[in-house]
């Protein structure tokens, strides 16, 4: 009669180096890349007569050997602030999905347009010029922004091929992008409050409202300032709705139906205009969502954006194999 060896039925982990009686042994798959955060990156230097301002970004870089698509995040802030390291949940989700994510500041009021767009284009050029340093596929760069940052992401997408706002360094690199996502963004500075109550409309008619300051500047002794409607052509040129000619990269527009700061009309009118011209565009209206707020930080919404970018730009590809043909528009 054979008697089994008591030790033969002992769990295999008891033979692991370092094992001790009572230790818990777990197994973890190594299928998720490490994410490196690199802060304090100066992507551009804005030189004026008496100053030299360093424009900064913070990057999340998946530590993988593959060429990765990149996304530049531009924060909202009412054209007056750029807290570019916010929206951690969204940026982390994109990095975990394999995207290099660069969060960039840009000039705001009292600077006037086109300063923000010049900075946005400089950020894209920086990523292309340093693509080898961060494992970026320079043919696949997208933009993401919320509110005023969405306005900027839209402008980047709709002004592709235009070089009039390319200023500063790395001018040998194109500033075109291959996809854009705008969260409750502004497509036309002339009608941010479209459909709102008369008191809200009066605010947007003021020369002191931030979009008026962005386009026309503040009032000084030699400059009276002006409301946004003072020069409609000038305001339209500072809006995505003023740059509809020609093919555009894929865009995703998302807006909350309960937004009381930036009218949902802003996303609807750009969606309809792009679709009428045959451009690839998706529009998601988030029922009950306000301007910003917790709904925009929920996993379902963040995952929707992440999946959309994966479809528009593709995922990491082995070096030397090239990127998906559909993603390259350079």
| Long-range Cβ pairs for the range 296-303 (8 Å, 24+) | 296/146, 296/183, 296/184, 296/256, 297/87, 297/89, 297/90, 301/254, 302/89, 302/90, 302/93, 303/93
Edge-to-edge order in the sheet of strand 179-183: 35-47, 52-62, 100-104, 68-74, 136-146, 179-183, 251-256, 281-286
Of 173, 18, 167, 155, the C-alpha closest to 79 is 155
Return the pLDDT at 238. Answer: 98
Task: Give, in order, the Cα–Cα distances in Å from 12 to each of 9, 74, 126, 327.
Answer: 9, 51, 52, 48
Mean pLDDT for 197-207 is 93
pLDDT at res. 322: 54
* Gap between the Cα atoms of 220 and 215, Å rounded: 15
* Average pLDDT over the chain, rounded to an integer: 92
Model-wide pTM > 0.85: yes
Per DSSP, the residues of 242-253 read G--SS----EEE
d(CA 277, CA 275) in angstroms, rounded, equals 5
The pLDDT score that the predictor gives to residue 11 is 63
pLDDT of 14: 87
pLDDT at 25: 93
Q: Are 83 and 77 in contact (CB under 8 A)?
A: yes
Residue 320, pLDDT score: 61
From CA 242, how far away is CA 235, in angstroms rounded?
Answer: 9
Q: In the prediction, which pLDDT does 23 show?
A: 94
Looking at residue 271, its pLDDT comes to 98
Q: What is the mean pLDDT of residues 148-154?
A: 98
Residue 229 has pLDDT above 60, yes or no: yes
Domain boundary assignment for the chain: 36-315
Q: Where are the alpha helices (DSSP H) in the chain?
A: 88-96, 115-129, 131-134, 148-158, 198-204, 210-216, 232-237, 265-276, 299-313
Q: Is the pLDDT of residue 4 over 70?
A: no
pLDDT the model gives residue 329: 38
The residues, any chain, with a CB within 8 Å of residue 59's CB and separated by 6 or more, are: 37, 38, 39, 41, 100, 101, 102, 103, 134
Does 6 have pLDDT greater than 50?
no
Distance CA 124, CA 170 (A): 10
Segment 111-139 mean pLDDT:
98
Using a 10 angstrom Cβ sphere, with 0-12 exposed, 13-18 middle and 19 or more buried, the burial of residue 51 is exposed
Per the rule left: phi > 0, alpha: psi between -120 and 50, beta: everything else, 233 is alpha
pLDDT at 221: 75
Closest CA relative to residue 69, chosen from 303, 318, 250, 315: 315
Phi and psi at residue 74, to the nearest 5°: -115, 120
Contact 256, 289 (CB under 8 A): yes
Mean pLDDT of 92-111: 97
From the CB of residue 275, how many other CB atoms can be counted at a distance below 10 Å? 13
Is residue 141 scored above 50 in pLDDT? yes
pLDDT of residue 283: 98
Question: Where does the pLDDT of residue 326 fall: very low under 50, low under 70, confident under 90, or very high at 90 and above?
Answer: very low
With contact defined as beta carbons under 8 Å apart, do 308 and 181 qualify? Answer: yes
At the topology level, CATH places domain 36-315 in: Rossmann fold (3.40.50)
Which of 3-7, 140-144, 218-222 tops mean pLDDT?
140-144
């Amino acid at each position: 009669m054979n008697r089994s060896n008591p030790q033969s039925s002992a769990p295999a982990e008891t033979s692991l180096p370092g094992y001790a009686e009572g230790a818990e042994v777990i197994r973890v798959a190594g299928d998720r890349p490490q994410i490196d955060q690199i802060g304090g990156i100066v992507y551009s230097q804005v030189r004026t007569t008496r100053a030299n301002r360093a424009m900064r970004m913070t990057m999340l870089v998946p530590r993988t050997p593959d060429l990765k698509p990149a996304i530049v995040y531009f924060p909202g802030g009412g054209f007056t602030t750029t807290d570019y390291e916010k929206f951690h949940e969204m940026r982390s989700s994109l990095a975990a999905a394999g995207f290099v994510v660069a969060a960039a500041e840009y000039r705001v009021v009292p600077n006037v347009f086109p300063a923000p767009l010049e900075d946005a284009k400089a950020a894209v050029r920086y990523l292309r010029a340093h693509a080898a340093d961060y494992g970026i596929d320079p043919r696949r760069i997208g933009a993401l922004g919320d509110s005023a940052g969405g306005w900027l992401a839209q402008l980047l997408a709709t002004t592709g091929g235009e070089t009039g706002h390319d200023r500063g360094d790395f001018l040998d690199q194109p500033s075109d992008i291959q996809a854009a996502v705008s969260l409750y963004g502004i497509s036309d500075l002339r009608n941010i409050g479209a459909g709102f109550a008369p008191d809200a409309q009066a605010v947007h008619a003021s020369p002191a409202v931030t979009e008026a300051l962005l386009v026309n500047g503040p009032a000084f002794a030699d400059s009276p300032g002006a409301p946004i409607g003072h020069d409609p052509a000038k305001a339209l040129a500072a809006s995505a709705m003023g740059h509809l000619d020609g093919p555009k990269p894929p865009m995703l527009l998302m807006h909350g139906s309960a937004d009381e700061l930036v009218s949902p009309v802003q996303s609807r009118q750009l969606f309809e205009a792009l679709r009428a011209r045959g451009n690839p565009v998706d529009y998601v209206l988030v029922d009950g969502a306000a301007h910003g707020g917790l709904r925009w930080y929920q996993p379902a919404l963040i995952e929707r954006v992440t999946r959309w970018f994966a479809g528009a730009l593709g995922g990491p590809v082995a070096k030397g194999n090239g990127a998906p043909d559909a993603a390259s528009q350079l």
